Structure 1
């Protein structure tokens, strides 16, 4: 399947499984008359495969060591990208950042690293399913920077186009998206 065909098919899946209309309160606290819940797409076999493929293609030339982001949205994405990157012979390891460290066990903020493994000096992309203001991704950025990682860019599946571009620019971070909310709002 060509990249444009894969992108069009994934948009269909997102529209059917993950996009809706109706008043909702977003993670940012804002009210909206439309929403994206990408989990049904990320956990659908075809949706997961297409997200991984398009994301991998968008990232393969960035010389990355790790892909990760804030739980919960980044977990299925990071895992799928890591798996596909191995299959493609260009491995990119995955991790995720807890919203708050567990109060038992190792009490880690960053999960998925083997004993003795660190993000120190590693090139990292933060992934997110849906981005509104960028606040959630910036929490992950902060945790990764505290762990010594170098943030190469932030990549979201859907940019709601409500301030994230400006927030990331202000933070000096490159920001890319697979889709913009406007693509789903027309029609």
Structure 2
């Protein structure tokens, strides 16, 4: 799709039908909620993956970032499609992911996929953002490794504190959707 509005409208339908669930759940933040967004079905859907990559890359391309990645596991299904979209657009952006903990074998790296992120401008992607704490772990790891985070972008912002967390940290934040868009329907 080339029309951003049409791509977003179609992606909304995919997320609504494949990833939005009403019912009690405990979130990664520890909070309880009466609704849940499980983005994996939308991210692993061929059309969903393509639309996500197109829309996120369009947002990322405005930042001048060199690389794209995020914290395992939520970001991992997004990274490769976004890298492919960047190549197709003539602006290749390699991908990486940040481990939650360093593995105890092999290279023992926290940042995987690239040999060095020092001096790079980075965009962090995430599937669902609640308080912002998960992606902030990736921000902290990359900053410690010498990278500059230019944007954190999420498929969906649950509107429960992430925007303020990133604003307070001086890091631009964006999302493709807000939870309120789904809760009103």
**Pairwise TM-score range, normalised by the shorter structure:** over 0.9
User: Aligned residues, how many?
Assistant: 184
Query: 2:124 maps to what in 1?
Result: 126
**CA deviation after TM superposition for structure 1 residue 77, in Å:** 0.7
Residues 110-129 of structure 1 show CA distances to partners (whole Å, capped at 9, x for unaligned) of 0001xxx3111100011100
TM-score, structure 2 as length reference: 0.98
User: Gaps (5+ residues) in structure 1?
Assistant: none
The equivalent residue for 2:46 is 45
List, as ranges, runs of 4+ consecutive aligned residues in structure 1 with deviation greater than 4 Å: none
Q: 1:142 deviation in Å?
A: 0.6
Alignment of 1:30-109 (within 5 A): 30-109=31-110
Instruction: Give the structure-1-normalised TM-score.
Output: 0.97
Aligned counterparts of 2:176 and 2:61: Cα–Cα separation in 1: 14
2:171 is the counterpart of 1:170: no
Name the stretch that deviates more: 52-61 or 8-17: 52-61
Residue in structure 1 matched with residue 149 of structure 2 by the alignment: 151
Q: CA deviation at 1:61?
A: 2.2
Q: Give 3-state SS (helix, strand or coil) of 2:7's partner.
A: helix
8 Å contact kept, 2:63–2:151: no
Distance in 2 separating the partners of 1:12 and 1:61: 26
Match of 1:8 in 2: 9
- Measured after TM superposition, the shift of residue 63 of structure 1 is 1.1
- The CA distance in 2 between the partners of 1:40 and 1:137, in whole Å, is 20
Root mean square deviation of aligned Cα: 0.7
Distance in 2, matches of 1:92 and 1:184, equals 31
**Partner of 1:118: helix, strand, or coil?**
coil
